[in-house]
Structure 1
């Protein structure tokens, strides 16, 4: 059993920066690096990409991240755990092997699958948010269960260098190496509760180092352009100390830790994960100075009998159009333009939304008069069942060039295919994880 391990978090969402993870690998003294890159809508959109091309469906930034990280990971003996597999962990693992062969390095990659349960749920199952059948929301696109730590544990025990998963609960990415390193039992819910606290504090990366915390003049954070991401030193009893690499931007203190501890927590006495129902109420945070916060306490009880499932559905097409009016009487002209579009589309879009945005994005503040915006941007948006109907909004906004008030410019028009998300539960007996190994 190890005396201590260090786990870094190099990404807190799919589009997170690439460089903080490299800093952690090269200068952080890590044992493990976690890249947490999945959200509910992220995986539903990944399933759509996979439908269009079976070789895709993994995180769009996977190749760029692995290109920069692979050799440093191996040189520094840091093992990677990430959910960048999204809707297609097998294809993601194969892509990593392709990169490894091109770089002429040896590596073992494990893909953890089993979270895709679209064929195992009933469209008549109840959505947790609405109480209605899942099918009532719209055509179902995806259904992914939040797996726990066991698949990652199995991959670690098979000595995989890089482990890539689909939908796994965020804290489970961090608990798995703790369980393996310290020999924790999967029924030791006291320690699993403590590990979940640490995983929850770490999972959003730059949020705990001041990124989402910052508020100028109220909560100032230094060096945000070079914000460092966190690591946590963990001891066998479940105690941890969170810190960041020296000479990186950001701050870690009691305020940043408390805000992250409460983030997305509805009931601190019962925080449900696939591994444990954690209790955050007894957590003790101690500021050790030097951007270090000690985390102790927390507990847990028996894991749930079900997995939560994130279900993606085809919601609607969102049509949008924007145009800017600047100069004298800009607000009145933009208001008239919005009224024109509303009149022309009111029968097709009963819930049309019209906003006036901005005051100084075209001309600087020297031309802005008090309480009288010198410029404003009109935005018109509405939902539609089809791409064609949604396109009408942008077309009408563009027509304002010559059919609306004078002085309009900078038109943008676009249509988004919007995916909605609801949740349901599935019995554990219906879900089985699988680990597939690849070597280069």
Structure 2
């Protein structure tokens, strides 16, 4: 049996549950999944400003907290915290290990997901809009292919204690240690299909132990402030039992596992991954004891000849301003505030391609389709998309002037202006993507 622990489900996730897993989970591997679609585009921007940056901003905090316990208990680490700069992440991790006085660790960096040159040089079109990529050339910030398990398996086979990657398909972070440990063939599609089920169940960490599941009075989950992250107990045939550390908060049940199984799945018959096309329709979920759920029945077939590439590009700017109103007549004053800002933006000639005027607490989510009576407090929000940062700043400035030029009793103004990083996808032939791994000096 191999025990996998999920140490993070996104870049800003809690650190304490990962430490708890490393200390009490009797793990073989601890996996941190920290990379979303826009996250890596932001990381690429950071790397351009400083060649030594571009990895996950919480890498140092996580490694300082987890490494001493993981090394003591023989837990190996796999993570995509390398983001746009896996080599720099691996070097920084080695430095942290030395500073902590730990034994020499074998730390590998997986590279090859950065395919910006290939994307810019080919006749590719975006899958979402059909636009030619070439038309976006001057705005593109990143292009990263979703790698599979192969380079991670290679690094683990070579003795890596820690493997840090860039863009890798989320389930592949979990399937790779299993392929390494059990010696599964990379063309054993049925087993890799079940392994993808395992990775998909664990990749979002606290979601499968009740975090995203909780709904008071309908789906109660105990002790969420001390939510424990999941453990997958996997046997050589691919069967998994999802559980958690006994004393940790949260809950593992058939319901939490089924909800996570359906999360972000477009076609359960053909869940496209770089390692396999997984079929979830035969999956069986059985609660065998409290906080112990057995999952079997994943299947698979050969993967497609292309790899998905996330292309991040600058798509204009967003300016925003907010202000609150409370007490009797709060909604009427908020609506008057919006009317004032709407007229001011037109009078001063602020150029926008999109504008939103919301009364948060009344119409910001559902428009005017719901009516819940008069709230005691509301928050006004005005947001617009512009072509320049200066135009974006003018939107927040107009909201701020409501302090002294608008309805009575406004307070708590915030304003911001930022660039927009959008993401679209390209399908790139596999032969144009050459993943590899290297060990850093420790």
Smaller-chain TM-score bracket? over 0.9
Give 1:9-20 correspondences, 5 Å limit. Answer: 9-20=6-17
Gaps of 5+ in 2: 363-371
Q: Name the structure 2 match of 1:296.
A: 296
SS at 2:313 equivalent: strand
Instruction: Return 263-272 or 120-129, whichever deviates more.
Output: 120-129
* Residue matched to 2:398: 396
Contact conserved, 2:402 with 2:410, CA < 8 A, in 1?
yes
Deviation of residue 88 (structure 1)?
A: 0.4
Check conservation: 1:140, 1:312, Cα contact below 8 A.
Answer: yes
**C-alpha contact 2:223 2:250 (8 A) present in aligned 1:** yes
Q: Is the 8 A contact 1:41 1:312 kept in 2?
A: yes
Q: Distance in 1 between matches of 2:333 and 2:135?
A: 42
Change (3 A) 1:350 1:151: closer
Matched, 1:319 2:316: no
| TM-aligned CA deviation for residue 340 of structure 1 | 1.0
In the aligned structure 2, how far is the partner of 1:11 from the partner of 1:145?
21
Does residue 309 in structure 1 map to residue 309 in structure 2? yes
Show the 5 A alignment for 1:68-217.
68-105=65-102, 106-122=104-120, 124-136=123-135, 139-217=139-217
How many residues matched? Answer: 427
2:40 is the counterpart of 1:37: no
What residue ranges of structure 1 are gaps of 5+ in the alignment?
Answer: 360-369
**What is the CA distance between 1:124 and its match in structure 2?**
4.6
- Secondary structure at the aligned position of 2:116 is classed as coil
SS of residue in 2 equivalent to 1:417:
strand
Aligned to 2:286: 286
Give SS of 1:294's match: strand
Q: Specify the SS of the correspondent of 1:119.
A: helix
Confirm whether residue 417 of structure 1 aligns to residue 419 of structure 2.
yes
Report the alpha carbon displacement of residue 375 of structure 1 after superposing the two structures with TM: 2.5
Q: What do the CA deviations read for 1:132-169 (whole angstroms, capped 9, x no partner)?
A: 22345671110000000111011101111110000000
CA contact (8 A) 1:110 1:164 kept: yes
2:9 and 2:176 map into 1 onto residues whose CA distance is 18
d(CA) in 1 for partners of 2:376, 2:282: 54
2:62 corresponding residue in structure 1:
65
Asked if the contact 2:141/2:313 (under 8 Å) is kept, the reply is: yes
Which residue of the partner structure matches residue 355 of structure 2? 352
Post-superposition CA distance 1:326-381 (Å, at most 9, x none): 2332222221111111011134236321111248xxxxxxxxxx933333211111
Q: 1:350 to 1:438 in 2, by over 3 A?
A: closer
> Is the contact between residue 107 and residue 439 of structure 1 (CA under 8 Å) also seen in structure 2?
no
Alpha-carbon displacement from aligned partner over 1:366-416 (angstroms, at most 9, x marks no partner): xxxx93333321111101111111000111111112222222221111112
Q: 2:325 aligns to what SS in structure 1? A: strand
Q: Classify the secondary structure of the residue corresponding to 1:288.
A: strand
C-alpha spacing 1:372/1:269, structure 2 compared with 1 (3 Å): closer
Alpha-carbon distance in structure 1 between the residues aligned to 2:260 and 2:35: 18
Give the 5 Å matches for 1:237-276.
237-276=237-276
- Answer yes or no: is 1:408 the counterpart of 2:410: yes
The match for 1:384 is: 386
Q: TM-score, normalising length from structure 1?
A: 0.94
Match of 2:110, SS?
strand
Shifted more, 112-121 versus 326-335: the winner is 326-335
Instruction: Indicate the SS of the match to 1:413.
Output: strand
Whole-angstrom CA distance in 2 between matches of 1:355 and 1:135: 36
Secondary structure of 1:352's aligned partner = strand
- How large is the Cα RMSD of the aligned pairs? 1.4
Q: What SS is found at the alignment partner of 2:119? A: coil
What are the Cα deviations for residues 297-339 of structure 1, in whole angstroms up to 9, with x where unaligned? 1111112111110110101211001112223322222211111
SS at match of 1:184: coil
Which digits, 9 at most, give the CA deviation of each residue in 1:53-88, with x for residues without a partner? 111100010000000111111100000000000000
Query: Do the aligned partners of 1:253 and 1:289 also contact (CA within 8 Å) in 2?
Result: no
- More off after superposition, 121-130 vs 290-299: 121-130
Aligned 8 A contact 1:134 1:422 in 2 = no
